[in-house]
């Protein structure tokens, strides 16, 4: 392992996409029919990784705090919601088409007046609403137009009064939600970075007006720290403040948490001071007074809202990109995902060195049974040991536990570390404790 030459970095999106498909993290949706643009399915490993990302967010944002409640609102909402929020009027990208190569671009993503691909002439910008429309009700002529939600946030705002009443909360407090969102994106590509169906993890943190700027600063730090705590390298993350002309219609201030993706710096999460915009608009349109009574001050007011809004799919992509490592070991290339153990889809793989020795196989099965519970531990004997290690390295399994013929007499097995490839020989009965301590506190 000492002769290993690290070549971290310089990963290309195609390396990640290939690995994801080959190993079963992410597939193109409805692939057997040729797929559908920018919609993705998570395979056996992807579903575990994504779940671990969501669970880690929920732990940090809800379980570790005393000032946040959870919510799971529906995707379909009364369309008045989108009138109030401004999405029907202004949730649109300005687009330009190239008269030469016919490609379409978002105005805010190009500089200059010529096509960035072929240098051709561009059309005037046109507005394109990003919401997917469908109907509720089956009787022709009586169906109502509704939208697939383009963000989860509005589900929280329309439930503000409900959550406040049942939780008896005082400001400041937050409501956290994870769920699907849909946008009919025009410029797609870059694998799962910009999808038409994706998941968001959003917190709406309600504060007293005047305390908003303090809380805004707090959430900038808190969110950066979450990504770092799960292994993203600091130098691959940065905060970028929105210019006045980029700010969303509802925002007083906004920062993007940006990650250094293979195509360059791009948004991972948006943190916005949404002021009292949404609650006030919903109050106006619904006729329900969405205010907070401050008993200590003896007054009612509309809270301000600080919103950290992240995309789970983008976070999954960032964790994969940042974890991707290659090195040369004994003149052979080794690829491994140095994922934080908390995120790794499989925590340990139990491998028999000789699958034609029934006692070895039996001991390996017993060991796997002993280790199971709370997280994914697998048994694999479908290849020779070198190949089995390579497979586990490439999917980010932190530990492999190998049972060999000597194990039968001395009761010991080999625990191999994914990143260092170091091997420890320990009592089989101790493996559970050793893994627990190395995997961290979540593995209780
Ligand atoms: P972009 O400018 O990249 O389209 P946005 O500023 O419109 O993103 P927000 O409305 O702030 O995005 O949404 C919050 C988060 O939701 C984003 O930071 C991103 O992680 C995620 N997100 C938004 N759109 C998509 C998408 N089409 N695919 C995947 N994730 C998305």
Same domain, 400 and 279: no
Could you tell me if residue 120 is inside a domain? yes
Q: Note the pLDDT of residue 107.
A: 85
Could you tell me if residue 326 is inside a domain? no
Q: Note the pLDDT of residue 389.
A: 97
Report which protein residue has its CA nearest ligand 1's atom 31.
Answer: 311
Atom of ligand 1 nearest to the CA of 315: 20
Q: Note the pLDDT of residue 191.
A: 96
Q: Note the pLDDT of residue 302.
A: 98
Q: Note the pLDDT of residue 92.
A: 76
Q: Mapping DSSP to helix (H, G, I), strand (E, B) and coil, where does residue 79 land?
A: coil
Q: Range of 291's domain?
A: 4-90+130-321
Q: Note the pLDDT of residue 7.
A: 40
Q: What is the mean pLDDT of each run of 10 residues along the chain (444 residues)?
A: 46 96 97 95 98 98 98 97 91 84 84 88 85 86 88 98 96 98 88 97 98 98 98 96 88 96 96 97 97 95 98 98 94 95 97 92 96 90 95 98 96 97 96 88 48
Q: Note the pLDDT of residue 3.
A: 38
What is the separation of C-alpha 229 from the centre of its chain, rounded to a whole number of angstroms? 14
CATH number, position 372: 3.40.50.800
Same domain, 412 and 272: no
DSSP secondary structure letter of residue 112? S
Same domain, 281 and 420: no
Q: Note the pLDDT of residue 441.
A: 55
Same domain, 208 and 170: yes
**Is residue 213 packed enough to be buried (19+ CB in 10 Å), middle (13-18) or exposed (0-12)?**
middle
Same domain, 124 and 134: no
- CB-CB contact of 325 with 6 (8 Å): yes
CA of 314 to the centre of ligand 1 (A): 8
Report which protein residue has its CA nearest ligand 1's atom 8.
Answer: 267
DSSP secondary structure letter of residue 130? -
Residue 168 φ then ψ, to 5°: 50, 40
Atom of ligand 1 nearest to the CA of 200: 16
Tell which residue, 227, 242, 391, has the closest CA to residue 318.
227
């Amino acid at each position: 392992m000492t002769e290993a030459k690290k070549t971290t970095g310089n990963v290309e999106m195609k390396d990640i996409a290939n690995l994801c498909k080959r190993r079963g993290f992410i597939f193109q949706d409805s692939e057997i029919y040729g797929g559908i643009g920018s919609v993705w399915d998570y395979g056996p490993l992807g579903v575990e990784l994504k779940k671990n990302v969501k669970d880690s967010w929920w732990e940090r944002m809800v379980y570790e705090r005393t000032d946040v409640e959870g919510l799971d609102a529906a995707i379909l909402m009364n369309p008045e919601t989108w009138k109030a929020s401004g999405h029907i009027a202004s949730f649109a990208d300005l687009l330009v088409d190239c008269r030469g190569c016919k490609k379409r671009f978002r105005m805010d993503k190009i500089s200059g007046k010529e096509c960035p691909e072929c240098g051709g002439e561009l059309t005037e910008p046109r507005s394109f609403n990003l919401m997917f429309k469908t109907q509720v009700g089956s009787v022709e002529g009586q169906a109502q137009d509704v939208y697939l939600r383009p963000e989860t946030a509005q589900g929280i705002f329309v439930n503000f009064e409900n959550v406040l009443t049942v939780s008896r909360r005082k400001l400041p407090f937050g409501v956290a939600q994870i769920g699907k969102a849909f946008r009919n994106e025009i410029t797609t590509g870059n694998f799962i970075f910009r999808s038409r169906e994706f998941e968001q993890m959003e917190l709406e943190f309600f504060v007293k007006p005047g305390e908003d700027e303090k809380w805004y600063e707090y959430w900038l730090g808190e969110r950066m720290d979450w990504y770092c705590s799960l292994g993203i390298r600091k130098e691959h993350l940065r905060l970028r403040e929105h210019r006045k002309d980029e700010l969303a219609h509802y925002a007083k201030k906004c920062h993007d948490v940006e990650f250094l993706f293979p195509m360059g710096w791009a948004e991972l999460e948006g943190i916005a001071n949404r002021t009292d915009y949404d609650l006030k608009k919903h109050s106006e349109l619904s006729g329900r007074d969405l205010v907070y009574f401050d008993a200590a001050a003896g007054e009612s007011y509309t809270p301000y809202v600080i919103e950290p809004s992240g995309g789970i799919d983008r976070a999954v992509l960032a964790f994969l990109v940042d974890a991707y490592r290659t090195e040369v070991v004994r003149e052979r290339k080794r690829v491994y995902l140095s994922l934080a153990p908390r995120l790794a889809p499989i925590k340990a793989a139990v491998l028999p060195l000789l699958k034609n020795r029934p006692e070895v196989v039996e001991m390996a099965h017993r060991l796997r049974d002993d280790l199971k519970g709370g997280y994914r531990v697998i048994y694999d004997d479908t290849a020779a040991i070198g190949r089995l290690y390579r497979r586990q390295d490439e999917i980010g399994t932190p530990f492999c536990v190998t049972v060999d013929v000597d194990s039968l007499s001395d009761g010991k097995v080999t625990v191999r570390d994914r990143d260092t490839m170091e091997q420890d020989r320990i009592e089989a009965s101790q493996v559970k404790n050793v893994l627990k301590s190395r995997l961290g506190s979540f593995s209780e």
